[in-house]
Structure formats: structure tokens, C-alpha cells
Structure 1
Amino acid sequence: MENDNLNKLWEIQANDSSNFNPKDIITKAKNQRNGQYISITIMSITVVILIIYAFYYAFNQWNTFNLGLILMISSLTLRIILEFYSLYRKEKQLISLAQKSYHAYLKRYYKTRLMINYVITPICIAVYIFGFYLLLPYFKGYFSKAFYNYILISGIISLVAFIALIINSAIKEQRFLKQLHKR
């Protein structure tokens, strides 16, 4: 929905005594939505790469390598589904609710996001790390020592960067929730 349309919807409610400026809310919502799109894109690319690799090389016979790939793919897929559900549910509410109701909805939404960020996401990350750990013996056996070290180091760096991105997003969401409670 366009910013102008949202502004018109919320400015109609002139009797509302809220301190919220519709433009500020729209800007923060867009920034948060863009962050979610970036997270979804990164996770989706990783899932696609893992699936392609799995179908070309891994599923000849069942072993812990396949289990590791499935764990990694499953944990990322769950996180992608949660992000999409969260994103589209929020946008649907933005269009259908009045400003005051949307403010109350945002409080509930960000409390739910805190649960996702602090409970479900660490579980997904742990499952992903365990899956990666299951792959390492196979990588060590099939690849040269230099390439194995590259995979290990780049995997750890990617994981740390991904965790930092999630932590940054969670901190921003927590700050926004605090701002919502102040108003």
C-alpha cells in the first residue's frame, strides 16, 4: 500500500490523541520489512544451494552426511517460513486496522518476534550447526586439507555473520518495542 494512502487513512482519525506520526511509523515499518527481506533472501539462497548440492551429490545412500544436510535445510526453511508469515501477517494488519488498534497490534507483534528471536531462532541455529558438524568428517575425507580448511573457516565466518545479522535485527525490534511502550 502506498504511503499516501496510509497517511490519508490515519489522518482521517484526527481525534486520536496518539503521539505517533504516520510517516515515522511507515518509515520504521519499511526499514524493518527491508531487513526481513534481506534475511529471507540470504536464507533462501543458502537453502537453494544446499538443496541443489543434496540432489546432485548426497542422496545416493543414507548416512550422517544426508542427515546433516536435511537438518541444515530444515532449520533454515522453518526460519524462512516464520519470517514470511510474520512479514505478511503484519502487512495485512497494517492495511486493515485503525492507527490505535495497529499500535496495540504492533506491541503484540514485537513480543511474538522476541519469542521467535530468542527461542526459536537459537534452536534453528543449533540444529544448523549440528548439521554442519555432521558434514565435516565427510568434507575432511573427500577434499584436500586446504579446501577443507576453506570450508570450515568460511562456514564459521558465514555463521557468525548470519548470527550477527539476526542479533542486530533482534536488537532493533526490541528497541522499537520499547518505543511503542513509551508512547
Structure 2
Amino acid sequence: MTSFDTIQYLWNQQSNRVTVSSQLEELIKLAEKKTRKIKTRQYWNTGILGISILLFVWYIAVFTGLRASWFHTGILLMLLSLVLRLVIETRSLVTLNRIDIRTDFRNYSKHITRFYKSRKMVHYVATPLILSTYVTGFCLLLPVFKKSFSTAFFVYIVISGGCFLIVFTFFMIWEIKKEIKMLSFLRDIDI
């Protein structure tokens, strides 16, 4: 190889490394952006769940107290389902915060795959169980609502509660699909 060919070869290799390095940096920035979106959603989820739990506890403390009745069982089921979801979301957030995107690929891939699998379990196993527990709790409140409120207001509670649960379920499915898509992207990154 002549010296010019050697210089040309080294120059070409340098150019390729810069291109690969810039592509790698762009990929890492995109992964960081997607991870930030997931973290932001989880912070919002934990905040909303925390406020909801505080409102339930306040309602129980101020208006009902703890007694043994179907109404109280319903409220406690609703409260416990929210607390369980808060614990799951907080645990997921802590796990996600521990994953370093800028670490070596093998380590990152192992951690994000584990996180991805845990989130799929949350979405496909825990979420339906939590939602069904919440709905069961709401249904246990309905007989007391029927006795306590006028027929028109009771019908309003049933219709608005049912519509809320349907809309909330569709919104939750939409959000879960978006999160699974982002997590799939993060898992499939090939650095």
C-alpha cells in the first residue's frame, strides 16, 4: 500500500467513525427523550393517584369513619386498588430511574428488557385486576347511593360513573399502547 493509499484509508475510516458516532449520539438522545416521556407520565400518574388516595382518606375520615358495611367495603376496595397502583407505579419509576442509557449496550439492553417485561405484566395482568377491584368497590357503593339519593341523582351517578369508567378504560388502553410502543423502541435499540 502506498503512503497516499494509507492516508486515504485512514481518512475514510475517520469519516466513518464520525458518522457512526453522530448516529449513535442521535440514537441515544432519542432514547433519552422517549425515556423522559415515560418518566413524565409516571410522575403524573403517581401524583394523580396520590391526590386521589388523599381524597379517599379524607372522605372516610370526615364523613364515614370505619365501620363494617358493604359501603365501607366498597370504599376500601377502591382505596386499596389506588394504593396498589401507586405502589406499582412508584416501583416502576424507581426502576426506570436506575437504568442508565449511556452505559454499555449489553447492560442497558438487559435492564430495559427487564423493565419492559415488568411493565407488560403491570399493563396486562395488574391493571385489569386493579380496575376490576375498583369497579367492584364502586358497585358496592350503589345500593347505599340508591337509598340515600333521589332516583334522578342515582341514575346520574350510575350513568356518569359508567361513562367515566368506559372513557377512562379506553384512555388507559390508548396510553398503555403508547407506552408499550415507546418501550419496544427502547428495547429494540441496536447500538
| TM score, norm. by length of structure 2 | 0.77
Give 1:92 shift: 1.9
Q: Is the 8 A contact 1:64 1:134 kept in 2?
A: yes
CA deviations over 1:122-156 (Å, ceiling 9, x no partner):
11111110000000000111012232223222322
1:181 is aligned, of 177, 184, 188, to 188
Q: Which runs of 4+ in 1 moved over 6 A?
A: 17-20
Aligned position for 1:103: 109
- Post-superposition Cα deviations, 1:153-181, rounded to whole Å, max 9, x if no partner, equal 23223322332332123212322343323
Q: Does the 8 A contact of 1:35 with 1:169 survive in 2?
A: no
Whole-Å separation in 2 of the counterparts to 1:147 and 1:141: 11
Name structure 2 gaps, 5 residues minimum: 1-19
Alignment partner, residue 155 of structure 1: 161
Secondary structure of the residue aligned to 2:68 is coil
How far does the alpha carbon of each residue in 1:101-129 deviate from its partner, in whole angstroms, 9 at most, with x for none?
Answer: 22331121011100011001111111110
In structure 1, how many angstroms separate the alpha carbons of the residues matched to 2:170 and 2:75? 23
Distance of 1:75 and 1:20 partners within structure 2: 40
Q: Report the Cα offset of residue 20 of structure 1.
A: 6.7
Q: Per the alignment, do residues 60 and 92 of structure 1 end up closer, same or farther by CA in structure 2, a change over 3 Å counting?
A: closer
CA separation in 2, counterparts of 1:146 and 1:42?
30
Q: What whole-Å deviation, never above 9, does each CA across 1:5-37 have from its counterpart, x for those lacking one?
A: xxxxxxxxx98x968722101110111111112
Task: Check whether the contact 2:60–2:66 (CA below 8 A) recurs between aligned residues.
Answer: no
CA displacement 1:86-110 (0-9 Å, x = unmatched): 0012102228x71412233112101
- Residue type matched to 1:55 in 2? A
How high is the sequence identity, in percent, across the aligned residues?
A: 32
User: How many correspondences in the alignment?
Assistant: 168
Question: 2:85 matched to which residue of 1?
Answer: 79
Higher Cα radius of gyration: 2
The aligned runs of 1:161-172 (5 Å cut-off) are 161-172=167-178
The C-alpha deviation readout for 1:34-91, integer Å capped at 9, x for no partner, is 1112222332232222221112222263101000000000011000110011001210
CA distance in 1, matches of 2:66, 2:42: 35
**Structure 1 partner of 2:49:** 43
Give the secondary structure class of the aligned counterpart of 1:94: coil
In 1, Cα distance between equivalents of 2:157 and 2:43? 26
Matches within 5 A, 1:23-38: 23-38=29-44
Q: Secondary structure at the match of 2:67?
A: coil
